[in-house]
Amino acid sequence: MKLHSRAVHAGDRKRPPQDAPTWVPVTTPIHTATSFIYSDLDELDRVFGNELPGQSYSRYSNPTNDALEELVNDLEGGAGALACSSGMAALHMAVNTALIDRQRVILAAKLLYGATLGMLTKVFEPAGVEVVFADFGDENAVRAAIAEHKPGAIVMETIANPLLQVPALDRIAAMAREAGAALIVDNTFATPLIVRPLDHGAAISVHSLTKYLSGHGDVLGGVVVADSDHIEPLRNLSRTVGMILGPFESYLAMRGVKTFPLRMERQCASACRVASWLSTHPAVERVYFPADAKHPDAANIKRIFAPGLYGAMVSFDVKDAGRPEVYRLMNALKMVVPATSLGDVHSMMLYPAIASHRELSPKHRERLGIRDSLVRLSVGIEAPEDIIADLDQALRA
């Protein structure tokens, strides 16, 4: 089946045991039980020992979570998935899984979500893990860093937050495999509709479920999709650490995933129109968007992305703007929501300097190209004409 059909059907309508009545719920119910019992203790023993499929304790697995994990794994093409309590929890689980039996060195892209940079430098480094950063837009620099530091894990984003760079995922994956490192890709901005990192050789793909997959601003969650070498270590680690998603959140996330391909296609198409319009606006200095023919990573985008899809994130520098001018712009918005997230059905604008990359020093942001004039726009499913009209009046305010 095509991805659109799998998004609707995968994970749902599990058949009951052979000797039970044949009714099947159309959608997966919310299973709130923390524990599960069996008529024969030998069965429970075998379930605990992973000799028999089944449920024992919801920190280990839960039928609602299982359905969501099966659905996202099907979309990403992995060996299995783990639903986590947040996107950052998912990334934390992914990195720890990759480092279980490898050298405790992480090679990471310089340009990443601010909380990811904070996790690497404020959590993993103090715990004794060496963290090295490189420009992932420069393949030679990545190759040299791998040769010098011999990382156990490599961390990157499919579409880098917030300047929308697109590293050579396939070639970096080949470098990682050759070096025996696990490539971890945050695929939140791209989604499996545009890119499936494991198809290009990544070991682990991570999503913030909060964003495009759920898509309605009402679920906080994350998910890790792993290849066959990493899924069992990931699950074993999860049993101990317990960074799992609750069944209510899993249900809501699964409901959102069913429509994500339709939403994402609309958002991608609208983002192209918005980005093209912004590039002609006299109050806009520069637009960052993967569909731009002059994008520095155009060759990677053409090779890796699904045809005609470029994501729904648009970043742009407001001409001659500092914080006061950006505040004025965002305060003037009437429909676009000035909020700290992305991927919702409604369009959202974020100011990286005070939100996603707040913890970085001004000089660090400047070195990365994140200027005080930069805003990040997540294009929603509204009529693109209305999005453009709201941006226009706010830019002229």
Residue 59 a catalytic site member: yes
Whether the CB-CB separation of 204 and 173 falls below 8 Å is answered with no
The alpha carbon of 333 is separated from its chain's Cα centroid by a whole number of angstroms, namely 27
DSSP assignment, residue 244? Answer: B
pLDDT tens digit sequence for 252-261: 999 999 999 9
Enclosing H/E stretch for 130: strand 130-134
pLDDT at position 256: 97
Under 8 Å CB-to-CB from 178, ≥6 apart: which residues?
none
Q: What pLDDT score was predicted for residue 140?
A: 97
User: What is the spatial distance between Cα 148 and Cα 145, in angstroms, rounded to a whole number?
Assistant: 5
Q: Which residues, 6+ apart, have CB-to-CB distance to 220 below 8 Å?
A: 85, 86, 209, 210, 249
* Pairing outcome for strands 348-350 and 374-378: antiparallel
pLDDT computed for residue 231 by the predictor:
98
The whole-angstrom separation of Cα 172 and Cα 146 is 10
15: pLDDT strictly greater than 70? no
74 annotated active-site: no
Candidates 238, 251, 223; CA nearest to 60 is 238
| Tally of CA atoms within 13 A in the half-sphere of 261 that contains its CB | 17
Domains assigned to the chain = 3-30+61-257 (3.40.640.10), 260-395 (3.90.1150.10)
Residue given tokens 């049993």 in the structure block: 239
In this structure, what DSSP letter does residue 337 have?
B
Nearest Cα neighbor of 214 from 57, 373, 345, 394 is 345
215 CA to centre of own chain: 12
- The DSSP call for residue 199 is G
Annotation marks residue 211 as catalytic: yes
Annotated catalytic residue: which of 6, 12, 38, 59? 59
Please identify which of the residues 110, 196, 211, 376 carries the catalytic annotation: 211
CA distance 98 to 80: 15
Q: Edge-to-edge strands of the sheet including 204-208?
A: 80-84, 222-226, 204-208, 182-186, 153-157, 105-109, 130-134
Mean pLDDT for the stretch of residues 66-89:
97
Tokens of 328: 């004025």
Lowest mean pLDDT among 90-94, 182-186, 188-192, 336-340: 336-340
- Cα(390)–Cα(367) distance, rounded to whole angstroms? 31
d(CA 111, CA 204): 19
What confidence tier does 89 reach under pLDDT thresholds 50, 70, 90? very high
> Out of 66, 74, 186, 344, which one is annotated catalytic?
186
Instruction: Provide mean pLDDT across the span 365-377.
Output: 94
pLDDT tens readout for residues 348-359:
999 999 888 988
Nearest to 365 by CA among 174, 214, 162: 162
Judged against a pLDDT cut of 90, whether residue 361 lies above it is answered with no
Determine which one of 110, 113, 372, 390 is catalytic: 113
Question: Is 40 part of the annotated catalytic residue set?
Answer: no
**Taking all residues of the chain, what is their mean pLDDT, rounded to a whole number?**
94
